[in-house]
Amino acid sequence: PVDFLTDVILATKKVAVAYKPNLAFYEAAGESGWKLFYDTVSILKNECPECLIIADAKRGDVGNTAKFYAKAFFEKTPCDAITISPYMGEDSITPFTEYKDKATIVLCLTSNPGAPVLQMEGNPPLFHKTAEMVNGLNKKYKNLWMVVGATRDSDHIKTLRSISPEVPFLVPGIGAQGGDLEAVLKNAGNDVLINASRSILYASKSKEMVRISSEAAALEMIENIRKYL
């Protein structure tokens, strides 16, 4: 696995501005998986020192526990940011935001099919309230982001931008999930980080073609982004 990940990093480091290791895939392998995670972020720091490393961990717990999650990722790894769940409220978020030089990326309107059941419930819907909370916290801490899925209706993305004009968006769902890149860039503005994972990571089924295929997929994504800016 480390050779495969190294190939992808080497193939994409000239065009990527961030990498987002998904912790679940490492954790599932137990001790060896955690070693692979540390190896991965170490390679990223060496090969692409200017790139943002986002721990896609989706942590979310009460304040005291959140403090230790924050310490684990922000003091014991070189990660620059982490994704978290806001469901338990502000006190589950602020332990992360206390790290001024790190970014806390809050799930708001996600790209998965089951998300609307909770996130779009209520009047105003829950994702509006989440955005309002994040926007308020960001006025104080200046280091919060939101996850806004590219598969969602463009009107929802436009509304989120109006609620939180200074909060950067991490936008998954482009590529394998079929999100509308043009609609995202039109409605979310320029303060966005477009996330394409599987379409680049698994661009080739051949081990010998990993670097060539991943680089080509990354370059294609960059060209598509430039088209709509």
Q: Amino acid letter at 177?
A: Q
Residue 175's pLDDT band (cuts 50, 70, 90): low
Handedness of CA 179, 193, 165, 113 (dihedral sign): positive
Structure confidence at residue 1 (pLDDT): 84
Residue 193's pLDDT band (cuts 50, 70, 90): very high
Report the SS3 class of residue 162.
Answer: helix
Topology of the domain comprising 2-228: TIM Barrel (3.20.20)
In whole angstroms, what is the distance from residue 211 CA to residue 214 CA? 5
* 58 noted as active-site residue: yes
Residue from 14, 35, 45, 58 carrying the catalytic annotation: 58
Structure confidence at residue 80 (pLDDT): 99
Between these two residues, 206 and 150, which has the higher pLDDT value? 150
Alpha carbon of residue 55 to chain centroid: 8
Residue 52 DSSP label: E
Whether the pLDDT of residue 176 is over 70: the answer is: no
pTM: 0.94
Q: Answer whether 97's CB lies under 8 Å from 76's CB.
A: no
Between these two residues, 179 and 95, which has the higher pLDDT value? 95
Residue 28 DSSP label: T
